[in-house]
């Protein structure tokens, strides 16, 4: 039986162009039963096509003050709530942000597997806090001649 996973994506940090490679890795690990993307949906790139293609649930979070990241906090709160349900074998955290390091550590302390995903710029602290960390790269763009 495939592990049940919660896939939580920091959409302020991971762009829609990284979802296809992310999805490929996640489904090779287990079955994502929760698939959420957290961001301020009032700004930034258009995600609609990607959200529909991968059945991702958009979670909207305004930033209440400049320089503060309410999106990260919302994602952490949801992760801890989901961990309390004991319905998941592991968590897939997609972000290139070191702010999720304490979350990865806490989830592992609860006996859950943590799979991290991010770009090559992801700080070592977050990478090391995960059981496994996978570097995501955008698929090459095709040029029309």
In this structure, which topology does domain 4-135 adopt according to CATH?
Rossmann fold (3.40.50)
Q: How many CA atoms lie within 13 A of 75 on its CB side?
A: 33
Q: For the chain, which residues make up each domain, given as ranges?
A: 4-135
For residue 8, report the phi and psi dihedrals to the nearest 5 degrees: -120, 125
Whole-structure pTM value: 0.92
* Segment 40-96, tens digit of pLDDT: 998 877 899 999 999 999 999 877 766 668 899 999 999 999 999 999 999 999 999
- Percent of the chain at pLDDT above 70? 93
Cβ neighbours of residue 103 under 8 Å, at least 6 residues apart? 76, 79, 80, 93
pLDDT at 59: 97
């Amino acid at each position: 039986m495939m592990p049940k996973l919660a896939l939580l994506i920091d959409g302020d940090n991971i762009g829609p162009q990284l979802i296809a490679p992310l999805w490929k890795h996640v489904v090779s690990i287990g079955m994502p039963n929760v698939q959420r993307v957290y961001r301020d949906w009032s700004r930034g790139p258009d995600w609609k096509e990607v959200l529909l293609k991968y059945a991702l649930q958009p979670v909207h979070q305004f930033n209440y003050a400049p320089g503060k990241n309410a999106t990260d906090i919302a994602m952490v709160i949801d992760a801890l709530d989901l961990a309390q349900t004991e319905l998941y074998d592991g968590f897939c955290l997609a972000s290139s942000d070191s702010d999720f390091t304490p979350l990865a550590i806490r989830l592992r302390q609860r006996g859950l597997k943590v799979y991290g995903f991010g770009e090559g710029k992801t700080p070592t602290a977050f990478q090391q806090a995960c059981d496994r960390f996978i570097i995501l790269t955008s698929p090459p763009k095709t040029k029309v001649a």
